[in-house]
Structure 1
Amino acid sequence: MLQKGSQLSVSHFLQIGHCGSLVAHLLSGLMEGSDPELLKWFAQAELMHARWAMLAVFGILVPELLEKIGYIENFSWYDAGAREYFVDPTTLFVVQMGLMGWVEGRRWADMVNPGSVDIEPKVPHITNPKPDVGYPGGLWFDPMMWGRGSPEPVMVLRTKEIKNGRLAMLAFVGFWFQAIYTGEGPIENLMAHLADPGHCNIFSAFTR
């Protein structure tokens, strides 16, 4: 019997046996992240997916916007793979695999041995800062030097990056569903929704 005003935390319930071992494991908040090495991999995987998603969202929105103002014609991100380019698809695939393999190999080497693939120019009598894994910095990746200095503002920028990256991942999933159900891009869908919110919305896709 609980008295009025009494409080029991989740840990109390786990200790007195109100939850089974499986539920206790799920409520611990650890799960796979309890493995330090696996957690490092998850963090890097999320960071890379977030950055790719931000590039993808930018690459979808900007060309569609340019098409709306008449700067380009016949833009469609969801059938880009069916378009004809300056070389055949096989050549593009081989070149991409080679370049991506080289980049990912260096990224993996940096995860295994942090700082081993530092590309910052070596200047006599100047010690280059050791970059964190996933944040190479230097002249090529941090020309404005935002990633240097006091750790507090740097962590603020990194937090903003991962938050925007998570939002971009969700946005890309939304763009994908929009393309499947409407055959149109996100800006076109937004304009249609603003013109007729009552009929052009997320629910209308399921009533067709």
Structure 2
Amino acid sequence: MKFAALLITLVASASAFTSPLTARSSVSLRAAEVPEEAAAAPAPTSAEAYDIFSDPKYVGNSDFRGKRFDFDPLGLAAAYPPFVPWFRECELRHGRTAMIAVMGFIATDFMRIPGDMYSMESIPKTIDIHDALLKSGPMYQLLLWIGLWDLLVTAPAAKAMGDGFREPGDYGWRWFAPTSKEGFDTKRDAELKNGRLAMCALGGIATQSIITGHGFPYV
């Protein structure tokens, strides 16, 4: 038994110093013994970096002049391909929210919903509405309803998107959508551009309103 244990130890020690070329050659030998049909299959190659701008599923890589504009300076799409649908979902949701917010930011400089706490006398400037309603309570109700929406609608929709049952941003509201693919892609592209512009505009409106202290047109 002692001799057998010593022999095993010596073999293991020798294999530790064996050149990697030996292992590769044995693999090559076994590959040569594979039947011809199996050997004809192409060998797996290293995965190429994902190029979202060549993916026909996604639109929006053009500027406001209609020229090609591939914007991904951090390379997030190539680094995290499985998350690309979620990136597009977030972009669409933020863009849609920003478009509504820009309209609401301007509208509340001219009209308010009924109630003393929402009146022009109580809150003269739109930029002050958030903090004022945070103190009086309505903002907490808004947080509750948005939280319920995300829990009951957004979470299942994101899961369905990850499973391939829906496209990013698609909630099935297509009453006025074009019937042709070309027309539908044009509308998708227009929504992305307007949403991106609205996100920039919302930041500019808030900044300008704080600096000048004025409502619309914020000068």
Aligned twin of 1:143: 175
Residues 72-91 of structure 1 mapped to structure 2, 5 A cutoff: 73-74=120-121, 76-84=125-133, 89-91=139-141
Please report the TM-score for the alignment, with normalisation by the length of structure 1: 0.56
The runs of 5 or more residues in structure 1 that have no matched partner are 1-27, 116-130, 190-208
Query: Which of 1 and 2 has higher RCO (CA within 8 Å, sep 6+)?
Result: 2
> Would you say the 8 A contact 1:65–1:187 is kept in 2?
no
The runs of 5 or more residues in structure 2 that have no matched partner are 1-71, 113-118
Matched, 1:174 2:218: no
Residues 129-140 of structure 1 mapped to structure 2, 5 A cutoff: 132-137=167-172
Q: Which of the numbers 77, 83, 99 marks the counterpart of 1:54?
A: 99
Aligned twin of 2:75: 31
Q: Which amino acid aligns with 1:186?
A: F
Q: Which of the numbers 164, 184, 198 marks the counterpart of 1:154?
A: 184
Moved over 6 A (4+): none
Residues 163-202 of structure 1 mapped to structure 2, 5 A cutoff: 163-189=193-219
Paired with 2:75 and 2:86, the residues of 1 have a C-alpha distance of 14
Paired with 2:137 and 2:181, the residues of 1 have a C-alpha distance of 46
> What is the aligned residue count?
138
Paired with 2:180 and 2:145, the residues of 1 have a C-alpha distance of 40
Paired with 1:136 and 1:89, the residues of 2 have a C-alpha distance of 26
Classify the secondary structure of the residue corresponding to 1:187. Answer: coil
Aligned twin of 2:144: 94
Classify the secondary structure of the residue corresponding to 2:170. Answer: coil
Identity of aligned residues (%): 27
Q: Which amino acid aligns with 2:163?
A: N
Structure 1 position 66, deviation (Å): 4.3
Structure 1 position 105, deviation (Å): 1.0
Structure 1 position 188, deviation (Å): 4.3
Q: Which of the numbers 144, 155, 160 marks the counterpart of 1:105?
A: 155
Structure 1 position 171, deviation (Å): 0.2
Deviations 1:1-29 (A, max 9, x none): xxxxxxxxxxxxxxxxxxxxxxxxxxx96
Q: Which amino acid aligns with 1:81?
A: H
> Would you say the 8 A contact 1:178–1:185 is kept in 2?
no
Q: Which amino acid aligns with 2:174?
A: D
Q: Which amino acid aligns with 1:99?
A: W
RMSD: 2.9
